[in-house]
Amino acid sequence: MIPYGRQIISDADVEAVVAVLRSDFLTQGPQVPAFEQALAAFCETPHAVAVNSATSALHIACLALGVGPGDTVWTCTNTFLASANCALYCGADVEFLDIDPRTLNVSVPELAAKLEAASAAGRLPKVLIPVHFAGLPCDMAEIAGLARRHGVAVVEDASHAVGARYGDGSPVGSGHHSDITVFSFHPVKIMTTAEGGAALTRDGALARKLALLRSHGMSREPEEMRGAPDGPWYYQQLALGYNYRMTELQGALGRSQLPRVPAWVDARHALADRYDQELAGLPLLLPWRGSPARSALHLYVVQLDEERTRVSRRHAFEALRAGGIGVNVHYIPVHTQPFFRERRAQSLPAAERYYARCITLPLHAGLTVEDQDTVIARLREVLQ
């Protein structure tokens, strides 16, 4: 099976992890802080807090921004479950936004209208979580302007977008248009730490809160304590935190992977350009590539063009899988999940229509041209 996504592990990655195994610290040593510094520098931002998954990063991002019972968080329905669950972990509610059918990211006009209506009704969300779907950055300048006008905090779910750049050329994660940006280092994403994630911010106080929440809410800093420390052994719990720490093995792997991200994004672009050319004549809607932003191209998603083919998505999916092509579907709109539908019935037609027709083709930096040609040939057979 040619997978839709796959990690790349070099000998240097293996050596970096093995060196940690032979060292004094398997957790809470020098590797994770060094990875955090490298990641912050890569993203041109002052603070990165590494954690054990993007799911954890989204949870503590919401907590650090004060999300709690009685609050609502908004996110785009075309995403993975975790972008919504973080609100519920905090005892808050979640509401979903529809997509722009061209970008497949949150629809900015719909967001603007919904914010106006919520403001009039006194039901503004506490936090908005735009998702950079498939690695294509949302128009964050627009979104930040709307959020600022209504006093709503913003967490970018950039799980797909390590190595992407906004339209102005600044790296995703630089944080000029949001409070916190979250990355995932799951193996199918742009770079990996096996499991892992990070929360980045320009705000030192938020970074400190994130670091506390990652590790039991405990502090060893005398200036943060209520009253004087009992002695040099003393720590104090200042908040209800978790154990969301990244291990030293993961930190070392992340440090070793990070410098290769730009080359991997370039490789994804070259492969996507080939797909664009080779698939142009088929009855497919190809991904929109006209944005001034530079996508990290985590996913290459095509949609069956119903006006030009009678092949169903289900048939195409099953035939491709039977032919050894590891196609996938990103995403089942989260608002249609029974768990969420039972809480709030929503109809989001653009995302539902997109979902009915979408197929994710294999795309990753290690995909060979030969394997890509196999994907293209099978797709031609299935659609003709």
Ligand X SMILES: *Cc1c(COP(=O)(O)O)cnc(C)c1O
Q: 83 to 102, contacts with ligand X by CB under 6 A?
A: 83
**324-356 core/surface letters (b: 16 or more CB in 10 A; e: else):** ebbbbebbebbbbeeebeeeeebebebbebbbe
> Judged by CB under 6 A, which of 47, 114, 160, 294 binds ligand X?
160
Using CB under 6 A, pick the residue from 49, 106, 131, 207 that binds ligand X.
131
Q: Which is nearer to ligand X, 182 or 267 (CB)?
A: 182
In whole angstroms, how close is the CB of 158 to ligand X at the nearest point? 8
Closer residue to ligand X, CB minimum distance, 282 or 361: 361
Tokens describing residue 333:
């709109």
Residues 75/123, Cβ–Cβ less than 8 Å:
no
Residue 159 touches ligand X, criterion: CB under 6 A: yes
Structure tokens given for 69: 């019972």
The reply on whether position 255 binds ligand X by CB under 6 A is no
Minimum separation from the CB atom of position 358 to ligand X (A):
15
**String of DSSP letters for 192-244:** --SS-EEEEES-HHHHHHHHHHHBTTEE--GGGSSS--SSTT--EE-S---B-
Residue (of 143, 208, 151) closest to 176 by Cα position? 143
- The CB-of-4 to ligand X minimum distance in angstroms stands at 12
Q: Smaller CB distance to ligand X: residue 124 or 350?
A: 350
Q: According to the binding rule CB under 6 A, does residue 186 interact with ligand X?
A: yes
Q: For 88-106, b where at least 16 C-beta lie within 10 A, e where not — what string?
A: bbbebbbbbbbbbeebbbb
Enumerate the active-site residues. 189
Instruction: Determine the length of the chain.
Output: 384
Q: Is 247 in the site for ligand X (CB under 6 A)?
A: no
Residue with token string 């768990």:
339
CB of 80 to ligand X, least distance (A): 4
| DSSP string over 60-109 | HHHHHTT--TT-EEEEESSS-THHHHHHHHTT-EEEEEPBPTTT-SB-HH
Which listed range, 32-40, 60-68, 152-160, 171-179, lies at the site for ligand X (CB under 6 A)?
A: 152-160
| Residue nearer to ligand X on the CB measure, 80 or 317 | 80
Confirm or reject binding of residue 190 to ligand X (CB under 6 A).
no
Taking the least distance from each CB to ligand X, the nearer of 86 and 282 is 86
User: Which x/- pattern, by CB under 6 A, does the window 43-82 give for ligand X?
Assistant: ----------xxx-----------------------xx-x
Positions in the binding site for ligand X (CB under 6 A): 53-55, 79-80, 82-83, 131, 157, 159-160, 184, 186, 197
